[in-house]
C-alpha cells in the first residue's frame, strides 16, 4: 500500500537556527498538504501544494513539491519557540478522497 | 477556527463495553474522516465518508463502524471495547472534492479513549 515517510523523526534546534523536514511518498501524489500539531493539540492545516515543482512561502515557512510529485519539504527559517510541534505531510493520490499522513517530524526549539 | 466538535473529550471504560464517539460539524462539509493517533505518532485513517449514506474503510484495520445519516454527523461505534483500542480518535471534515480547490481538513479536538 501507499506509504509516506518523513525524515527526520525528531529535530532539536537552537532558537534562530533553520529547520527542514522531508516527506517522501512511495507513489505519485495528486497533491500534498502540511499540518502542524502542537503538543496536546490537534493537527492544523498549513498549506496545500498541487503543481509539480511548486514552491509556496508563508512568512518564515517555505514549502516545496518535487518535480515527480513524490516528495515535498518544509523549511523554517530562524526558528522560534512558537514553532515547537510535530509537522505532518499528508498526500492524496488521484481518484481518491483519502489522505495518507506521513510519520511526522517532531521539532523542539531550545531558547 | 473551524466548527467541528467531538464528544466526549476523555473516556475511560471497561473491556467489552459498547461505545460511540460523537463528531459533528456545522460547516456543511461533504467529506468527513476518522483517524486514530497514538501519542507522538502518525495519524491512521480508519474510516471516511464523502456524503450522506456513503462510508469507506481506511487503511488501518479497525473493529469500529461508522454511519453517515446526516451531513453534519459522523459517529464512530466500537461494539466491544478492548485495551488495544486505547488511543486518541480524531475526527476531521473537508469541503472540496476532486474537482479542485483546497480541501483543507479541519480537525476536532479529539477523544482520548482508555480501555481498562
Tell me the pLDDT tens digit for each residue of B65-96. 999 999 999 999 999 999 999 999 999 999 86
Q: How many CA atoms lie within 13 A of A8 on its CB side?
A: 9
Q: How many CA atoms lie within 13 A of B72 on its CB side?
A: 8
Nearest residue of chain A to residue B56 (CA atoms):
A98
- A98 and B98 within 8 Å at the Cβ level: the answer is no
What is each CA distance from A20 to A53, A94, B35, B41, B66, in whole angstroms?
17, 27, 26, 19, 38
Nearest residue of chain A to residue B42 (CA atoms):
A103
- Which helix (H) or strand (E) segment holds residue A58: the answer is strand A55-58
Could you tell me which of B103, B111, B105, B106 has the C-alpha nearest to residue B37? B111
Reported as a single tens digit per residue, the pLDDT across A27-79 is 999 999 999 999 999 999 999 999 999 999 999 999 999 999 999 999 999 99
- A48 and B102 within 8 Å at the Cβ level: the answer is yes
- B105 and A43 within 8 Å at the Cβ level: the answer is yes
Amino acid at each position: 500500500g501507499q506509504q509516506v515517510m518523513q525524515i527526520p523523526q525528531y529535530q532539536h534546534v537552537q532558537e534562530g537556527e533553520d529547520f527542514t523536514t522531508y516527506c517522501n511518498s512511495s507513489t505519485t501524489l495528486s497533491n500534498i498538504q502540511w499540518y502542524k500539531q502542537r503538543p496536546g493539540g490537534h493537527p492544523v492545516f498549513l498549506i496545500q501544494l498541487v503543481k509539480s515543482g511548486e514552491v509556496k512561502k508563508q512568512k518564515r515557512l517555505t514549502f516545496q513539491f518535487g518535480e515527480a510529485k513524490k516528495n515535498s519539504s518544509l523549511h523554517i527559517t530562524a526558528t522560534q519557540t512558537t514553532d515547537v510541534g510535530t509537522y505532518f505531510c499528508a498526500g492524496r493520490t488521484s481518484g481518491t478522497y483519502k489522505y495518507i499522513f506521513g510519520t511526522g517530524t517532531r521539532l523542539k526549539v531550545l531558547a | 477556527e473551524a466548527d467541528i466538535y467531538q464528544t466526549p473529550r476523555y473516556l475511560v471504560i471497561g473491556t467489552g463495553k459498547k461505545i460511540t464517539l460523537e463528531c459533528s460539524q456545522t460547516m456543511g462539509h461533504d467529506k468527513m474522516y476518522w483517524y486514530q493517533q497514538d501519542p507522538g505518532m502518525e495519524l491512521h485513517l480508519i474510516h471516511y465518508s464523502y456524503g450522506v449514506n456513503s462510508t469507506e474503510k481506511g487503511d488501518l484495520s479497525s473493529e469500529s463502524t461508522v454511519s453517515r445519516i446526516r451531513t453534519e454527523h459522523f459517529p464512530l461505534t466500537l461494539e466491544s471495547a478492548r485495551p488495544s483500542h486505547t488511543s486518541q480518535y480524531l475526527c476531521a471534515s473537508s469541503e472540496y472534492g476532486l474537482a479542485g480547490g483546497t480541501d483543507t481538513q479541519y480537525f476536532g479536538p479529539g477523544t482520548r479513549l482508555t480501555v481498562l
